[in-house]
Structure 1
Amino acid sequence: MPANCAASAHPIASTDTTAWEAELTLGFSQRGDKTALLNRAHRGPLTVQRPFYPEGEVCHVYLLHPPGGVVAGDRLTINANVESEAQALITTPAAGKFYRSGGGEAQQTVNLKVAEHSSLEWLPQETIVYDGARLSANMHIELAEQSRFIGWEITALGRPAAGEGFSDGCAELNWRIQRDGRLFYLERQHLDGQAFLARWGLSGHSACGTMFVYPATSLHLAAVQELIGDEANRGVTLIDELLICRGLDRQADLLKGFFERVWGVVRGDMIGKEVCLPRIWAT
């Protein structure tokens, strides 16, 4: 596989002439009976709404990207640090959109750090990668030994509802997970037109996703296996307390629905609470 997203032999001209470089840093700390967003700093068009507390102490935060889409040359960086005893949930109000490119690459980097006895739920809505777009997405997660983490990333290639497939573009999706300061898990996916169609790739499915849960047990594995049953294009495995769920689907919302059901299976043990859907998902 290529090491990065190379320019197409027939590049699609982009009408966007201004590239954004934006960075957002969030810090969560336990204060009294709830988690507070005590550190919030941003540069460029990347920010958050005020925190919400629909279930008491867990701090729900919604990431906002006012331009509404990402073009070639844009660089977005999101940093989140959850201190000891804090509980945070981060999501987005809508799908992220990466538009077609004339050959340049858009970059998104997410750095998450979860301290001892704290929890983070990273639950963004799907990322839509338009045909002809070039995306490099990197997830760096630092977990303490006694931390708790639930996170997913859902990628939609092309726009099937508009009759658009994914023949001219690529997405580099990289996960790097550290536990107690040591590399724990490393994954790299290269998705292009060939991978989109191939049986060894997505086999024409427009949506693909990965979900991680830590720390998980064989009981969680068995529960998710039972949830999946004979359902096609779903899978789950357990690697040294890291539960990894994967899925393919023709629509991103169907895949998100599957991950939500898995969330419902594991959240009680991970967070100590039943699922509480972010209110922004209903708007």
Structure 2
Amino acid sequence: MPPNFAASSIPDTIMDATAWEAELTLGFSQRGDKTALVKRQHRGPLTVQRPFYPEAEICHVYLLHPPGGVVAGDRLTINASAEAAAQALITTPAAGKFYRSGGGEAQQAVNLKVAEHASLEWLPQETIVYQGARLDSSMTIDLAEHGRFIGWEILALGRPAAGEGFDNGSANLNWRISRAGRLLYLERLRLDAAAFQARWGLFGHSACGTLFAYPATALHLAAVQALIGEEPNRGVTLIEGLLICRALDRRADLLKGFFERVWGLVRGEVVGKEVCLPRIWAT
């Protein structure tokens, strides 16, 4: 989901400071034997590092948000498109942070477009939503008929290590996935203090996440089901070729580790490559 940001000295109690509006547009195209970042436009404090090629042809890009966190009133927009046959992976160098709000809302929109026989992976590190923060996030994925996509969203509500729960605040999460111009999946989820505590919600788990992979098969579904086994707070389903895996956990790093294992089960056939962890995750 949201971009992850570099380390910051911004305190966790920012109350509607001067808002930032930022937009980043990326375009990936196949050039010879590798994918190149052929378009990079940005407005405001949102940019990328130079591309990396740990897998030879697949272009790895790290998103950067220099302010280090998002406050009420901030609006971030990320657009990325993979042209025919291009292969790209987008991630972030650290956890994203949405700070406490005095009543206003922070907004983020991510719009991804994947052309025929292209693949795009959206794998940001976790997003920390501080107690009292108000986040509105939307993800729109437009797949060509033979486009390929793997993406996840990992949220950490509050900071349990610091004794902070999520007694107030909210996170509105919206996913819209279409294939060949037809709506494939639509989800609207609201997490607030009631949902954080309730049995029908997170039941006190501070970390929650969803992973999507397309195209997937019944064999992928069975493999992930076997991985889950009897482990609680894990689930997976398959809808018209779209694999949807959900999880709750007490820590975001544990949840991310589970998603990495799911990624390892599906990436070989979806993207055509075995898992190659971005180097930035190890720093």
Sort the TM-score into its range (normalised by shorter chain).
Answer: over 0.9
- 1:15 Cα deviation (Å)? 4.0
Question: Secondary structure of the residue that 2:224 maps to in structure 1?
Answer: helix
Aligned position for 1:117: 117
Contact 1:218–1:238 (CA<8 Å) still a contact in 2? yes
- 1:56 Cα deviation (Å)? 0.5
Aligned mates of 1:17, 1:58 — CA distance in 2? 39
Tell me the TM-score normalized by structure 1. Answer: 0.95
* Residue 62 to residue 13, structure 1, CA distance change in 2 (3 Å): closer
Aligned mates of 1:155, 1:166 — CA distance in 2? 12
RMSD across aligned positions (CA): 1.0
Aligned mates of 1:252, 1:123 — CA distance in 2? 14
- 1:16 Cα deviation (Å)? 4.7
* Residue 13 to residue 271, structure 1, CA distance change in 2 (3 Å): closer
- 1:83 Cα deviation (Å)? 0.2
Tell me the TM-score normalized by structure 2. Answer: 0.95
- 1:119 Cα deviation (Å)? 0.2
Contact 1:28–1:86 (CA<8 Å) still a contact in 2? yes
Pairs within 5 Å for 1:1-283: 14-283=14-283
Contact 2:76–2:108 (CA<8 Å) still a contact in 1? yes
Deviations 1:123-160 (A, max 9, x none): 00001000000000000000111011000000110000
Contact 2:16–2:73 (CA<8 Å) still a contact in 1? no
Aligned mates of 1:242, 1:15 — CA distance in 2? 40
Contact 2:177–2:185 (CA<8 Å) still a contact in 1? yes
Aligned position for 1:8: none
- 1:272 Cα deviation (Å)? 1.2
- Which has the higher mean CA deviation after the structures are superposed, 264-273 or 51-60? 264-273
Aligned residues: 272
Unaligned segments of structure 1, at least 5 residues: 1-11
* Residue 169 to residue 55, structure 1, CA distance change in 2 (3 Å): same
Contact 2:13–2:99 (CA<8 Å) still a contact in 1? no
Aligned position for 2:6: none
Aligned mates of 2:70, 2:13 — CA distance in 1? 15
- 1:14 Cα deviation (Å)? 4.0
Contact 1:28–1:83 (CA<8 Å) still a contact in 2? yes
Contact 1:13–1:102 (CA<8 Å) still a contact in 2? no
Question: Secondary structure of the residue that 1:221 maps to in structure 2?
Answer: helix
Aligned mates of 1:216, 1:273 — CA distance in 2? 15
Unaligned segments of structure 2, at least 5 residues: 1-11
